[in-house]
Amino acid sequence: MENLSIFNTGVRLAEKVLGRIGVYVCPLCLKSFDANDLSEGLLSLEHVPPKSTGGKGIILTCKKCNNSSGYLFEGDFKKKNKLISAIEAVFQLSNDSPHRFKMNLSGIETDVKLQVDDGRVNIEVLRNTNDPKQISQQLSQLKIMSDGDFRGLSFNLTTSQRFKERNIELSFLKSAFLACVAKFGYSFCKSNSTDEVRKQIIYPEKDYFEGFLFRKTSEIDGENKIIYFQKRNVLLCIIDNYVVVLPIPDETLDDYNAFVEEYREINNATLNGIDHGWPSSFEGIYD
């Protein structure tokens, strides 16, 4: 039902702005989809920002765009969050679900499970994923240490969560772009400047659009929102602790480039502009 009402809104706006009759246009690839495609599951609901960070389903994208970008970006996003919560659990000694690491003890590596339990950090060497020979080597290493020979002792943990920081950046870019389309409508996709953003999302391996992600330097209230920063003619999308800077639909990227060049950090003062809030559905206020 939710999908159908977003579909119907998209059909209405696509006709008005893009002149395409009876179809929903995927905001990422700009291909057309009809009601049959919807019932065949070729369009899917996008959570903006990703579900794992509390985002709600507000817009539909086609399956192909959702698969190629969603999988890549959100997967890495989840891995990073998992790693952060593991590190936090250890440093704050808070109880948390177990996390897997690789433990290297004097050059011998094994898979371990780390869990914080009542202020203690328990490290358990996993029996089923390790080579038994490695475990016994580590045990004899520990035996030498317990006998008081600490020469050459080194001990470290590395994460098994591998992720690409670039994919996480692109996840923020995708959320910001889709939020702007949901808020402003297809008008937002219809320009050379925002085309660069769109292409960057659907071709993540290429470099079309750079410099868009800033960390907030001061505490700004927690709400996600889109702000039009008049002073420099750019959009600032606040998502969690980050700010994604986007061009306004315009012929050039000059204002965007000037902003990225000038601003090294974004703080409360920078965020002084017109607050558009966060879209709750496909609103399309400028279509």
SS3 234: strand
Per CB under 5 A, the list member of 18, 29, 125, 135 interacting with Zn ion is 29
Per CB under 5 A, the list member of 6, 23, 25, 26 interacting with Zn ion is 26
In the bound state with Zn ion, the residue whose beta carbon lies nearer, of 62 and 181, is: 62
**Residue 234 touches Zn ion, criterion: CB under 5 A:** no
Q: Which stretch binds Zn ion (CB under 5 A): 21-29, 46-54, 205-213, 258-266?
A: 21-29
Q: Which stretch binds Zn ion (CB under 5 A): 22-30, 169-177, 210-218, 231-239?
A: 22-30
Q: Which DSSP string do the residues of 125-151 spell out, in sequence order?
A: E-TTTS-HHHHHHHHHHHHHHHTT--T
Per CB under 5 A, the list member of 6, 11, 17, 28 interacting with Zn ion is 28
Spatial CB neighbours of 221, under 8 Å, sequence gap ≥ 6:
none
**Residue 42 touches Zn ion, criterion: CB under 5 A:** no
79 is written with which tokens?
């891995």
185 is written with which tokens?
């409508």
Minimum distance, C-beta of residue 181 to Zn ion, in the bound complex (Å): 12
**Residue 58 touches Zn ion, criterion: CB under 5 A:** no
In the bound state with Zn ion, the residue whose beta carbon lies nearer, of 32 and 81, is: 32
Minimum distance, C-beta of residue 50 to Zn ion, in the bound complex (Å): 17
Three-state SS for 164-227 is CHHHHHHHHHHHHHHHHHHHHCHHHCCCHHHHHHHHHHHCCCCCCCCCCEEEECCCCCCCCEEE
**Residue 65 touches Zn ion, criterion: CB under 5 A:** yes
Distance CA 5, CA 259 (A): 37
Single out the residue of 161, 154, 106 nearest to residue 134, CA to CA. Answer: 106
Distance CA 240, CA 186 (A): 25
Minimum distance, C-beta of residue 63 to Zn ion, in the bound complex (Å): 8
Minimum distance, C-beta of residue 32 to Zn ion, in the bound complex (Å): 10
Minimum distance, C-beta of residue 52 to Zn ion, in the bound complex (Å): 22
Helix (H) or strand (E) segment spanning residue 229: strand 225-229
Distance CA 72, CA 105 (A): 33
Per CB under 5 A, the list member of 17, 38, 48, 62 interacting with Zn ion is 62
Minimum distance, C-beta of residue 68 to Zn ion, in the bound complex (Å): 9
In the bound state with Zn ion, the residue whose beta carbon lies nearer, of 26 and 189, is: 26
Q: Which stretch binds Zn ion (CB under 5 A): 40-48, 54-62, 70-78, 181-189?
A: 54-62
Residues that bind Zn ion (CB under 5 A): 26, 28-29, 62, 65
